[in-house]
Amino acid sequence: MEPDRHELELTEADLRFVVDEVEAGGLDPEHLKQLVRSDPSFRNAVLADSRVFAKAAAVDEELLRISPALYFGMLLRRAQKDLGQVSHTLERSGADTVVVFDTDDVSGFLARPTVTDYLAAMLASFTRVESYVMPVRVRRGTWRRVRFSDMDIDSLGRLAASVDEEHRFRYFKRIADVCLFILGIFPNSAAQAAQRGMRPGRRGRRTVEEYADIGQRHYGTAMEHPTAHVAGLAEPMGQLRDNFAVARKALNFIAEQYLRYSRTQVFDVGIP
Q: What is the pLDDT of residue 203?
A: 40
Own/partner pairs for 12-16, CB < 8 Å, 24+ apart? 13/65, 13/66, 13/67, 14/66, 14/67, 14/69, 14/70
Mean pLDDT of the chain: 82
Average pLDDT of the residues in 8-26: 79
For residue 18, being part of any structural domain is answered with no
Residue 200 clears pLDDT 70, i.e. is over it: no
Phi, psi dihedral angles at 93 (to 5 degrees): -130, 95
For residue 210, being part of any structural domain is answered with yes
For residue 260, being part of any structural domain is answered with yes
For residue 3, being part of any structural domain is answered with no
For residue 136, being part of any structural domain is answered with yes
Q: What is the pLDDT of residue 101?
A: 65
- The parent domain of residue 235 ranges over 71-272
pLDDT tens for each residue of 224-245: 999 999 999 999 999 999 999 9
> Which of the two residues, 241 and 53, has the higher pLDDT score?
241
For residue 20, being part of any structural domain is answered with no
Q: What is the pLDDT of residue 61?
A: 52
Average pLDDT of the residues in 25-51: 82
Q: How far apart are CA 140 and CA 133, in angstroms?
A: 20
Amino acid at position 96, single letter: D
Range of lowest pLDDT (57-66, 77-86, 224-233): 57-66
Residue 264 clears pLDDT 50, i.e. is over it: yes
For residue 257, being part of any structural domain is answered with yes
Instruction: Give the three-class secondary structure for 217.
Output: helix
Name the pLDDT band for 195 (thresholds 50, 70, 90): very low
Q: What is the pLDDT of residue 255?
A: 93
For residue 53, being part of any structural domain is answered with no
Instruction: Give the three-class secondary structure for 261.
Output: coil
* Number of domains comprising the chain: 1
What percent of the chain is modeled with pLDDT above 90? 36
Residue 119 clears pLDDT 90, i.e. is over it: yes
